[in-house]
Amino acid sequence: MPKTTKDKELDKMYKELLESRKSVRATSADSGNRLLTFFVGLLMLGGGLFMIFQNIEVTSSWGYGGHIFSFGGFHLANGLIMLPIIIGIGMLFLMDRKIFGWVVLSIGIVIVLLSVMMTTHLHWVRSNAFTFIVMFGLTAAGGALVLRELFRKD
């Protein structure tokens, strides 16, 4: 039985449908690989940063010597750094307009945080060359994979 025009059109549409399904499968497989690449890169980046942070020793000189700030011959003692916090808490309970108390308390907290951060010292713990290369290699490779997948243009 010879094929009619409708049969030929149906065959043509069927072939186009099969081709489009193949391209959709290829695209979904590619996106699955891209997602896997992104998460592998994220794991590598996290592992490298974890190793780097494990080799940094954090010390502080806050509290040593009895003073934090020195302005010329004037030294600000450690205990005095808490004075704005204490005054701010007192103002919160005493004043009707609590905004001034919150401002003084916030300034006191910022002063304490800044004084601790200003007296913090970071020291690199001694490590061998292999560990150093693995740490920074994992970080660089993982970061590159993550950035490549984030900024891919297709």
Model pLDDT, residue 153: 82
Q: Does the pLDDT of residue 30 top 70, yes or no? A: no
Q: pLDDT-based confidence at 12, cuts 50/70/90?
A: confident
Q: In the chain, pLDDT over 70 holds for what percent of residues?
A: 80
Q: Does the pLDDT of residue 78 top 60, yes or no? A: yes
Model pLDDT for residues 138-152, shown as the tens digit of each residue:
999 999 999 999 998
Model pLDDT, residue 81: 80
Model pLDDT for residues 86-108, shown as the tens digit of each residue:
999 999 999 888 899 999 999 99
Model pLDDT for residues 121-140, shown as the tens digit of each residue:
899 999 999 999 999 999 99
Mean of pLDDT values over 1-29: 71
As a whole number of angstroms, the distance between CA 94 and CA 92 comes to 6
b/e sequence 30-60, b meaning 16+ C-beta within 10 Å = eeeeeeeebeebeebbeebeebbeeeeeeee
Q: Does the pLDDT of residue 72 top 70, yes or no? A: no
Model pLDDT for residues 32-47, shown as the tens digit of each residue:
788 999 999 999 999 9
Rg for the chain (alpha carbons), in Å?
Answer: 32
